[in-house]
Structure 1
Amino acid sequence: MAMSMDIPKSNLSTHLLNIRNSPAGYGWAIIGCIVTTIIATPLSQYLDLVNIVMLFLLTVLLIAARFSRGPAILAAFLSVALFDFFFVPPRFTFAVNDAQYLVTFAVMLTVALITGQLTTGLRRQAQLSAIQAQQTRDLYDMSSALAGVIKVEQVATILQRFLLTGFKLNAVLLLPDAAEQLQPINHDDKHLRIDQRFALIAYEQGQVIEDSILSGEGHGASYFPLQAPMKTRGVVVFMPTDDSSALQEHHALLSTLSSLIAIVIERLHYVTVAYDTQLEMTSERLRSSILSALSHDLRTPLTALAGLAESLPLTSTTLPAATLESAVAIHEQALRLNNLLENLLDMARLHAGRVTLRKEWQLLEEVIGSSIKLLEHSLQQHTLQINLEKNLPLLEYDAVLLERVFCNLLENAAKYAPVGTVITISAKINTDSVEISVADQGPGFEQQQSLVRFEMFARGTHESSIPGVGLGLAICHAIIQAHHGSLTIANLPAGGAIVTFTLPRGNPPIIEEEPDYHEGAAIK
């Protein structure tokens, strides 16, 4: 939804901080002194000169309160001159007969200058207080608007509107893309030139960079890094529209704005991450539930189908050869489909966290041997080579799940490697783990597929003609992770694929050797 913010259309800060000596102030100073002289002339018959002096001092005070220091100083000197010319004897001349009037002139000028100075200072303090109050209100309005944004484009729009309307400054938000290149957000003004070099320095070093090179409308630019609590989120570029001194005058405000924008962008980042994570978790739970329900519903008829196909040749010995061959094919495909359903069930349980590992200390050779026995038919067209390091320690693992890991890896190797090639199973001892690998001489893995391979239903493009749905490596990866190990895939330099996984060594129990009871030994 679009967010908006009401910002005063008058540029209050520029108006209040314009304390320069305008021609109008000097004109009013002259007019005020002349008016005071005109008023005091008929009153001089009734008032002493001391009271006439007070009228001129009042004029200086009013000029200082309304205008800046320059008009007040002019009013002070002009008041002394007019008082001397029109009221001090001899009148209508600047000559002074009594030297005491020189003291009067000096005191009058001093009091006028001090009064003007103090009044101007108080006026400036009042203006600065008004500026700070207005900036505080504007920042509060901006913070309120930013609290409800849901996109970074809205952040950029609010920031640009706030600075352009209230401070005559342009702002461009630069955020990094996936390649860590800074890209402008909601920026389509070609007249505003942004130096990517300065932006990159500010982003990488986390420092404010002042661009002395003219840019945009002919004024410099400032590059503020968006330093959030966790990391630098980007860069915001500030450029004045007509007054190059605005960057320096509002430097503290711009630093505060940069920190505020950085926090908002980091909040949006984590909101996006949380939403994506929740969506992914919900999708994964839904997919696991569907797979689990589907697998349960299909397993019973598949078991019956496999049993009937297996028993069909046993019921009759007079079946034609073609029928027997079809019965064997039906039995093999039913077993393949049943294995697929077992994989689906295992994956659903692993993702749901409902699998309890039944770990026992066992030899690695046992699970390798049982896996080869189960895949004896699939491996009969390949040469199997086993290279196990001597004195492999006992490992604590779930035999059923680890057997499925070996079965999936060996089945994949048998499917993708050419007939007659070698499939190698190796194991070696590391410092705190045992490293097991299954290698083949097939086409290998596609490039840039190391992470995708561990996702469910992920398969290579050139493998589509080979039966399978892409669950094998995903299940292996989940099982090995459940055993606190790691699984990686790679291609061999000479060709072929290799899948390597590790199992922690742990602290196996000490097995005491049985005593040697040879013939004739005494038994106590």
Structure 2
Amino acid sequence: MEETRRDPEDFLRQIRREERAKQRGRLKIFFGYAAGVGKTYAMLKAAQAARRRGVDVVAGYVEPHARPATTALLKGLEQLPPLTVEHRGIALREFDLDAAIARRPQLMLVDELAHTNADCCRHQKRYQDVDELLGAGIDVYTTVNVQHIESLYDTVAAITGVTVRERIPDRVFDGADQVELVDIEPQELMERLQAGKIYREEQAQRALVNFFDEKNLTALREIALRRCADRINRLAERVRLAEEGGYCTDEHILVCLSSSPSNAKCIRTAARMAGAFKGSLTALFVETPDFPSLSVQDRAQLRENIHLAGQLGASVETVYGEDVPFQIAEFARVSGVSKIVIGRSSTRRKYPWRGPSLTDRLIAAAPNLDIHIIPDDIAGYYRAKRVRQRRTGKVGPDLLKSAALLAGATAVGFLFERLGFTEANIITVYILGVLLTAVITKKRVYSLVSSAVSVLTFNYFFTVPRYTLAAYDRGYPATFAIMFIAAFLTSTLAGRLKQQARRSVETAYRTKTLLETNQLLQRCDSREAIIGTVAGQLVKLLRRDVVFYPARDGRVGDPLSFPAQGGAPRAELTAENERAVAAWVFQNNKRAGASTGTLGSAKCLYLAVRVNEVIYGVAGIALDGEPLDAYENSIMLSILGECALALESENAMREREAAAVLAKNEQLRANLLRSISHDLRTPLTSISGSAGVLLESEKNLDEGQRRQLYSDIYEDSLWLINLVENLLSVTKIEDGTMRLNPTAELVEEVVGEALRHVSRKSAEHHIQTHFPDEFLLAKMDARLIVQVLINLVDNAIKYTPVGSTIAVSAARKGRWAVISVADDGDGIPDSAKARIFDMFYTVNSGVADSRRSMGLGLALCKSIVTAHGGEIAVADNTPHGTVFSFTLPIEEVTLHEQ
């Protein structure tokens, strides 16, 4: 059997998850099926046990109870003072999140996980506070009841008839590190309630009547046990997938979104189905032409339903069209959906002429799919409210256009009548006029009125008796009806085509913006260019102000503002409180700000520009009280995703460049060490050998032999000194510490100084100097140019035979001083000239004595001359030999008469 190997990327992702898990705190939930089962008591008992083990435990917030046994367990535990806030004249006690993070214990106790915080708190829900504590590395103990889990809301409401307002997403419960079920028998719970151990006497009596009966409690207990079992199954499945590799079932659940209050029940049902079938979940919203006229309440309800679908793990998609069942069926066919979940209200068709319902049409459009219809008798009949659109233009122009078209059709009708055309031709002209009216006017009412007026005008001018609205022919009423229906239908179709064309233009514009963003980002070569491009595209797409905070050294940098109207940036969008929200998003890698449950009082919606856990910046979108619709949000996230990938690529490119520089430096260091190890061994061996001979046999040596040994030691020492000077200069050039001190120097004096320091073997050659200009000044750092000349002359001495002539000359050429070192040796091959100034390159690399070159001298000469703004070159000498020449800028000196 062939062994299957896991992808290395899976191992990498697993390692990253484990590292994040080590840094993140652990969450333990004490879970019950009703109030009074002992969740808080069990939590405090476990906390006391942890304290006895030496764990630093702090009670962050424990709901005040009138139960002595529970209150007694708080003794010995450090309690964090609650945050007291005033809400509508009532003092509320809330969990102090900032104080908890500042205290930073090992274990924090936070009761009532599903609690809704006061408006002034950072987060809207307490489970968000707990999530921030976990992100800070603090372990948390908390409590929650089964009726507070989001996906079980409808089931609990159907059993108990009680609507639960405070709920937590299923991911919080399923993502807990440990869940402890606190369970007692329903009869025992009712006895405790009657004994006053849970509520006061008045509250207890109401609870016994409304909620705490044996039937409800037994059903809730069963749901809690099943939910714990489901969680265990999910954990076991997750472990099995981690060991065997991920897979995906064929089940793809599609739930249809709407602005109906009952749509939330459909979403929860679809989420439970997706969990049971271990399939994927998609939430689809079909935006029709009537969507802009939805009321504010319906828009808010739709946003809540979309948010709920996202909380339950659905992928939210939006399509456009007028035929809703057709759009749903087509999306299901293209996306491979296996089951569709849709809601149905309890209403019935009151009139026989009404067409089939949305559910019936969907069944007809998708006969091969399983369609699950979720009834909702609680919600009752629902119909979306439409608001009348404000008039954006004046009535006069469209009215004049309609009247002009009607008059034109009448004039053409008279012309056709004079030419002997039949009435059918005149009717066609009026229908054409109605069609044109529908095309060129903005409102449907104009085409409708034009249809009616066209019939009346035709009757008045072209039927007998003329100029009256009466008609003698019995067939005229049918003609008028057909004419009106034809005109009305053509105008309606024309209006629909206009709406579809407008929607197609908007969709094409948004799609073009997304594609254009990708193309523009490919041409960006810096972080600033990427940020500017993405912000510009967001402004163009959303028509809202954008603020971008780039990441700088592990924190958010200064904001970059991109106003939508092209004016001055709005100061309130970059105020201190807005920067604090952006910093929180950067630190916690979560969205916050306007339209979210975290720091919702901010002006902007802030999102992390990230790739996995790496954050490259924070983008803020100014909402100004108008949240983004689903499609705008989807396109915005796509653009920010492109931005994150582009910033990651740019960061990777900079890291590659830094790595290349580091590799180059390492190679340089290795070459230096290699050259030193080879090239220093011979002169050092010669020096030590000569010194050893002098020490041991100086008396046996004659004067000539001793002087020869002294000379060899001196020559080798000078070679080492020159080598060390070159090494130091190369090191300064490579690390950028070499600084020029240019002054006006006489070229003849600099050359003379250099020739006094060349190798002593210069006596074996004929060195000549030639200066046509008696007074040639150049701007240079004399110390470095002397080193250049020494290297060039020593190079000529080294590679030319004894008795050769070396000529050093200088001349003026325009604004440059040209200094040349020429020899009449064997010359340099043409193949070597292109690399002669490269570091560590030598032509005669086979020489192995103490005069062997390391290939640093000419490279150093080029670096020094280039730093002076000049150029260095090599050429053939005539008739044979080599000429090295370099240029320096001329320094003009002005003489003033006294």
TM-score range, shorter chain: 0.3 to 0.5
Q: TM-score, normalised by structure 1?
A: 0.46
Q: TM-score, normalised by structure 2?
A: 0.29
The one of the two structures with greater contact order (alpha-carbon pairs below 8 A, sep at least 6) is 1
